[in-house]
Chain A
Amino acid sequence: MKTLDVFQLLFFTGVLIVCSLPLGLYIKKVFCREATLFDFILKPVEKFIYRLMGINADAQMRWTQYAFALLSFNIAGGILLYLLLRLQNLLPLNPGSFSGMSPDLAFNTAISFVTNTNWQAYAGESTLGYLAQMAGLTVQNFLSAATGIAVAIALMRSFSGKESGTIGNFWFDATRSVLWILLPLSLIFSIVFVWQGVPQNFNKPVSIKTLEGVEQSIPQGPVASQEAIKIIGTNGGGFFNANSAHPYENPTPLASFLQVFAILIIPAALCTTFGKMMKDRRHGLVLLGAMLLLFITGVCLVTHFENAGNPEIAKILHRTSVPQMEGKEVRFGIGASSLYSVVTTSASCGAVNSMHDSFTPLSGMILMLNIGIGEIIFGGVGAGFYGIILFALLTVFIAGLMVGRTPEYLGKKIEAFEIKMVMLGVLVIPVLVLILTALSVSIDPGKAGISNPGPHGLSQVLYAYLSASGNNGSAFAGLSANTFFYNLLLGLTMLIGRFGVIIPVIAIAGAIASKKIVPVSNGTFPTTGIMFAGLLTIIILMVGALTFFPVLSLAPVAEHLKMMNGVLY
């Protein structure tokens, strides 16, 4: 890494942390019904929404009720989105006259956007009309992010509550997430993105003749409004096929900087919110510290490997090494592309400003590990927070085993039921990924999608299932995933990967909420210090590394060794 790269990375991290503090405090106020700046305009809207729905948003829910409301909300959203995608040819605002999606692709896409994955087996500019993009995808970008925040807040509440057995009201949490957090941020970022060059219009594609006289048709659309929430909600579904590598989605280095910033800002802020809710900042800082350590290591490694590049290409250009520029844009270069790739896989975003499929093998491995450990380095909005809490519970449990004492976290005893749920939540992703990858590389419909021969083919399939189960959405995009086989299997993977974690988390919240707070004693394992942060980091790495070591050694590690020896496939 160059000195300038290091400086710029530190600058980015600094800006992120500094801005996340006030936002975290603001989020705490929003959910604890304290006064905020926007109340005068948003409170009437909020009341109006509750009245239209006919609900009492003050009613406190038990965990089963909360989970049920959340599932209903997601099912309803999925059904509506599926219909919009299937029937877009009959609806207005479709200037490209695109036909309705096929049933399997619409199934996959609807699940993909409802689960905050935004895996895209289609190419936006040649498949979707403006109505499907704005009324379908944009809306689910907001709502899936709101679902994630709601779960995180319910979990925080359960730790701070006293034997109530209730964890809040889902409709209240979701509505407030949208109105107070996601919408204001999206308004600001949309306008900034337009300023940088992202289009926002309802024009037909612009037909031009190039200077050499060739016809070029340039698709347009309401891109900026969708771009903003795609990033802020860690959704990642691009308006265009090339996603944030497309100059219309991400026109300048500054736009790219703002995108990586916006991806991580809510996840980072939630750590502060947590500390504030627990009335002890250190609880949030410890989590943030563990995340930062893993994050900065990841960025440095990927930047290093991408700068070192591919020795075969260096040989052709008669040099000792050249940076890996295949699948990268000139305006981003190695630095901004590497940073973006680590940010998008750390958070469950999945937007890309360079093509991960063409990254050097070991960089690809780091991206896969980021997703594989459960996207808890900042993580998706809400999802990252409840993900790292699962690991925190696992850590106190293991520490408890070592000293032979019932583990406690934040004054609540962690017992058999919670640990069972933690294990469910932690194991869902590895089990799905390993079994389905093995299946897909063993049978013809799975193998048919692979575009790169050799060990990289395995990486492509592995990445797809990691991305789907971790609700990331980025891809080793050479894989032809728009087939009945992959649409179906990846669709189901996204569904299980999302709700197979959310439901155990809500169950944990329910159980924790009904426990009484035990006072801190000499025997309590402290969960605020460096010791805890270190142990947490080690356990995260151990679970991730041990689970995926065999398959990673067959895929990226094997490919790296072949590449260094000049073997081609």
Chain B
Amino acid sequence: MLREMKYAFKAILIFTIILGFGYTFFITVFASLLFNRQANGSIISGENGKKGSVLIGQKFTVPRYFHPRPSNAGSKGYDPTASGGSNLAPTNRKLIDNVKSNLEQVLKDNPGFKPEDIPVDAVTSSASGLDPHISIENAKIQAPRVAKARNLDLSVVHYLINNNTDKPLLFVQGEPGVNVLQLNLELDKVSKDISNERR
């Protein structure tokens, strides 16, 4: 009996070395050689340092940026140290109240639209609270506002939306999504190029 316990502890120690350390370090080295950018968190760097991660959503509130979905990560939303969803049940009054107030905000931000125009992802919160995407319809209702705030042609904004849409492969379930951070970064770049030209 004691003998089996001794074997067991030895086995656990051996496997901890092989699997806990050997395997993890091997993958780390191999991954950083093959896919360095992804292995380090897909971080986007700009002129003034790191701008964020392609995969991690950010909070946007001003009119000249596209806004992400409502978020329950942290008290203010989009806090990567506190990922998670609302976990509200379909019959929870809070869920319905949240949807209503989210809708009000969306309608206020994007004048000229009615409730039936608003896609459902714009008024519901994501599972991770860090969803980097919005649906294409969600981007389209925001496009006029962004174009106006930046004094850009609407077709330019639509072009950029299309450029920043990630589509799933044909045989694989999933939906197309517009990457909000990438789209906003490109908008900033376009706006800057235009103002440089004018100068």
Q: Hey, which bits of chain A sit against chain B, CB under 8 A?
A: 5, 8-9, 11-12, 49, 52-55, 68-69, 72-73, 75-77, 80, 123, 125-126, 134-136, 138-139, 142-143, 171, 174-175, 178, 183, 186-187, 190-191, 194-203, 205-212, 214, 216-220, 222, 224-226, 240-242, 245-248, 251-254, 256-257, 309-310, 312-313, 316-319, 322-333, 335-336, 339, 352-355, 357-361, 451-456, 459, 476-478, 559, 562-563, 567-569
Which residues on the A side are within 8 Å of B59 (C-beta)?
210, 212, 214
- Tell me if A123 and B82 are in contact (CB < 8 A): yes
Flag whether B159 is at the interface (Cβ < 8 A): no
Chain A residues within 8 Å of B127, by CB: 242, 245, 327-329, 352-355
CA distance in complex: A54, B11 (Å): 10
Query: Considering only CB atoms, which chain A residue lies closest to B114 in the complex?
Result: A318
> At the interface, yes or no: B28 with Cβ under 8 Å from chain A?
yes
Bound-state Cα–Cα, A352 to B126, Å:
13
Contact B87 A451 (CB under 8 A): yes
1/0 per residue, CB under 8 A from A, across B183-198: the answer is 0110010000000000
A246 in contact with B128 (CB, 8 Å) = yes
B53 touches A240 (CB 8 A): no
A-B contact pairs, 10 of them (CB 8 A): A49-B11, A55-B7, A68-B4, A191-B30, A209-B50, A225-B27, A312-B96, A326-B124, A357-B87, A452-B92
Quote the shortest CB–CB distance from A150 to chain B (angstroms): 12
Whether the Cβ atoms of A248 and B41 lie closer than 8 Å is: yes
Q: Which 4 A-B pairs have the closest CB atoms?
A: A253-B174, A333-B175, A478-B87, A245-B127
14 more A-B contacts (CB under 8 A) besides A75-B5, A567-B91?
A8-B172, A73-B8, A247-B55, A327-B125, A329-B128, A330-B177, A335-B175, A336-B172, A353-B127, A358-B88, A358-B89, A452-B88, A452-B91, A454-B89
Q: Are A76 and B5 in contact (CB under 8 A)?
A: yes
Of the candidates B56, B79, B92, B175, the one whose C-beta lies within 8 Å of that of A247 is B56
Interface membership of chain B positions 170-186, coded 1 if the CB is closer than 8 angstroms to chain A and 0 otherwise: 01111101000100110
> Nearest Cβ in chain A — how far from B54, in angstroms?
8
* Residues 24-63 of B contacting A (Cβ, < 8 Å): 24, 26-28, 30-32, 34-35, 38-43, 49-62
CB pair A76 B24 closer than 8 Å = no
How far does the Cβ of B52 sit from chain A's closest Cβ, in whole Å?
5
Residues of A within 8 A of B28 (CB): 200-202, 222, 225
A174 cross-chain contacts in B, Cβ below 8 A: 11
With A and B bound together, what is the CA distance between A442 and B78 in angstroms? Answer: 37
Interface residue range, chain B: 35 or more
**For residue B19, which residues in chain A have a CB less than 8 angstroms away from its CB?**
138-139, 142-143, 178, 183
Chain B residues with CB under 8 A of A219 = 80-81
The distance from the CB of A3 to the nearest CB of chain B, in whole angstroms, is 13
Known contacts A195-B34, A329-B128; A76/B9 CB under 8 A:
yes
B124 touches A325 (CB 8 A): yes
Beta-carbon contact of B173 and A222 below 8 Å: no
B95 within 8 A of A: yes
Complex contacts, B166 vs chain A, CB 8 Å: 252, 331
Chain A hits for B124, CB < 8 A: 313, 325-328
Please indicate the chain B residues that have their CB under 8 angstroms from the CB of A478 in the complex: 87-89
Chain A residue nearest to B43 (CB atoms) is A206
Please name all residues of chain B whose beta carbon is closer than 8 Å to the beta carbon of A72 when the two chains form the complex: 4-5, 7-8
Give Cα A333–Cα B177 distance, bound, in whole angstroms. Answer: 9
Asked if B34 and A246 sit within 8 Å, CB to CB, the answer is: no
Query: Which residues of chain A have C-beta atoms less than 8 A from B172's C-beta?
Result: 8, 253-254, 256-257, 336
Nearest CB to that of B54 among chain A residues?
A197
Shortest distance from the beta carbon of B150 to any chain A beta carbon, whole Å: 13
B-chain residues with CB within 8 Å of residue A224 when the two chains form the complex: 27, 31, 39
Q: What separation, in Å, do the CA atoms of A331 and B126 have in the docked complex? A: 10
Q: Which of B107-143 touch A at CB < 8 Å? A: 114-116, 118, 120-121, 123-135
Q: Verify B121–A191 contact, CB threshold 8 A.
A: no
B39 near A242 (CB under 8 angstroms)? no
- B60 adjacent to A316 (CB under 8 Å): no
| Contact (Cβ within 8 A) A190 B27 | yes
Find chain B residues with CB under 8 A from A309 CB: 120
Q: Let me know if A200 and B128 touch, CB within 8 A.
A: no
> Are B92 and A77 neighbours in the complex by a CB distance under 8 Å?
no
Q: Establish whether residues A476 and B87, one from each chain, have CB atoms under 8 Å apart when the complex forms.
A: yes
Which residues of the other chain, B, contact A143 by a CB distance below 8 angstroms? 12, 15, 19
Question: What residues of chain A lie closer than 8 Å to B62, measured between beta carbons?
Answer: 212
User: Which residues of A sit under 8 angstroms from B8, Cβ to Cβ?
Assistant: 69, 72-73, 75-77
Q: Are A327 and B92 in contact (CB under 8 A)?
A: no
B147 interface contact, C-beta 8 A: no
On whether the beta carbons of A324 and B99 are closer than 8 Å, the reply is no
Task: List the A side residues contacting B5 at CB < 8 Å.
Answer: 72, 75-76
Chain A hits for B181, CB < 8 A: 211
Chain B 97-113, CB-CB to A under 8 Å as 1, else 0, gives 00110010000000000
**Bound state CA distance, A569 and B95, in angstroms?**
10
Report how far A455 CA is from B91 CA in the complex, Å. 9
Query: For B55, B118, B125, which residue has the most chain A Cβ atoms within 10 angstroms?
Result: B55
B residues less than 8 Å from A217 (CB atoms): 80-81
Q: Which residue of B lies closest to A125 (CB)?
A: B81
Which residues of A lie under 8 Å from residue B51 when comparing CB positions? 208, 210-211
For A355, what are the chain B residues with a Cβ–Cβ distance below 8 Å? 84-87, 127
Q: Which of B41, B80, B133 contacts A203 (CB 8 A)?
A: B41
CB-defined contacts of B128 to chain A, threshold 8 Å: 240, 242, 245-247, 329
User: Do the beta carbons of A191 and B31 come within 8 Å of each other?
Assistant: yes
B173→A257 contact, CB < 8 A: yes
Chain B residues whose C-beta falls within 8 Å of the C-beta of A52 in the assembled complex: 10, 14
Q: Give Cα distance in the complex from A29 to B95, angstroms.
A: 53
Q: How far is the CB of B56 from chain A (nearest CB, A)?
A: 6
- In the complex, the answer to whether B15 meets A331 with C-beta atoms within 8 Å is no
CB distance from B42 to the nearest CB of A (A): 6
**Residue in A175, A197, A242 with the greatest tally of chain B CB atoms within 10 Å:** A242
- In the complex, the answer to whether A358 meets B173 with C-beta atoms within 8 Å is no
> Which A residue sits closest to B21, measured CB to CB?
A135
Which residue of chain B lies nearest to A324 when distances are taken between CB atoms in the complex?
B90
Give the complex CA separation of A420 and B44 in angstroms: 61
Chain B residues contacting A197 (CB-CB under 8 Å) are 38, 42, 54-55
A511 to chain B, nearest CB (A): 22
**Contact: B84 with A336, CB < 8 Å?**
no
Cα of A196 to Cα of B31 in the assembled complex, Å: 11
Residues of B near A253 (CB, < 8 A) are 168-169, 172-175
A330 and B125 CA atoms in complex are apart in Å by: 10
> Of residues A209, A211, A456, which shows the largest number of chain B Cβ atoms within 10 Å of its Cβ?
A211
In Å, the complex CA distance between A8 and B171 comes to 6
User: Whole-angstrom distance between the alpha carbons of A318 and B119 in the complex?
Assistant: 11
Q: Are A310 and B49 in contact (CB under 8 A)?
A: no
Q: Is the CB of B50 within 8 A of A325?
A: no
- CB-based contact B87/A316 at 8 Å: no
B15 to chain A: which residues have CB within 8 Å? Answer: 139, 142-143, 178
**Contacting residues, chain B, for A76 (C-beta < 8 A):** 5, 8-9, 11-12
